Amino acid sequence: MRCPSNQLDAIRCNQLLDVAETLIDEQGVVSFRFSQITKKAGCSTNTLYKYFESKEDVLICLFLRNTTSSLIPIFIKENPDLTINERAVLAVLFTFEVVKRSPIFNILRVVSINSMFWQLASSEKIEILRNRVNLFWSRIKRPLQDAVLNGDLQATELEINDLSQALYFFLAGATSSYESRLMEEQYFVADDATGYRHISRLMNHYRWREPITLEMMQRMSIRINSFLDNSKGKIRSCDTCLAIGKLSDYEG
């Protein structure tokens, strides 16, 4: 199913996704049924199928409109004074703050990237999902490459790849453990300071001109939270999701 091509379709599609997200909040991602959307939204089956082919399509779209890849370029445009060190940790810190505000985001992330799930979605949604996942990887890797070019980081391409993967794996594991609420504090401490220390150790294993500090990450998290507090009209919408294809990594 194709994404909306005009403003009216985008509004209607987003309304259906709002209904689906409410159903997931009420029933959970497993119990919620595709057919329930029509009843709760007061629309016909034909209307639903105009935008989504299956439950898998709906869940992928919910993930896509929540993904931090849609928000980071807007944040960068509104904060043009970011240093290269701040940009280097932006994707990780941004995701932490979004997950804390919206646990459903991490649930959708885990479900959507499961190969047994996303392969059941329509080909168009799969392509968008694939591009978005790779775009998020670039949000982690690109600032590291820029730091090397600017002389702020001494690292080989292999080291950049290693650091990018280490940050991504740490992020995936930490957010999943945080959201699950299953691990006891003796195994997993879910506070910001602990997360900052882990990120700092990963980053400062490499040769930065200025080290990645806990104080800098604390300031960044405050700026991210302020942005999220004041961006209610800009996020979690089809418009934001669709616009991401028109944005470069550093342009709004």
Domain ranges of the chain: 56-240
Nearest alpha-carbon partner for 151 in 92, 84, 203, 204: 84
By the 8 A CB rule, do 51 and 15 touch?
no
Nearest alpha-carbon partner for 68 in 214, 236, 233, 190: 236
- What is the end-to-end Cα distance of the chain in Å, rounded? 27
Nearest alpha-carbon partner for 148 in 156, 140, 136: 156
Tell me: domain 56-240, CATH 1.10.287, correct? no
Nearest alpha-carbon partner for 87 in 41, 150, 37: 150
Indicate the pTM of the whole model: 0.82
Cα–Cα dist 157/161, whole Å: 6
Nearest alpha-carbon partner for 211 in 160, 168, 147: 147
Q: What string of pLDDT tens digits covers the 252 residues of the chain?
A: 567 778 788 888 889 999 998 998 888 888 889 999 998 999 989 989 989 999 999 999 888 887 777 788 889 989 999 999 999 999 999 988 888 887 677 778 778 888 888 888 898 888 888 888 888 889 999 999 999 999 999 999 999 999 999 999 998 888 777 665 566 666 656 678 888 999 999 999 999 999 999 999 999 999 999 998 887 545 566 766 766 654 444 343
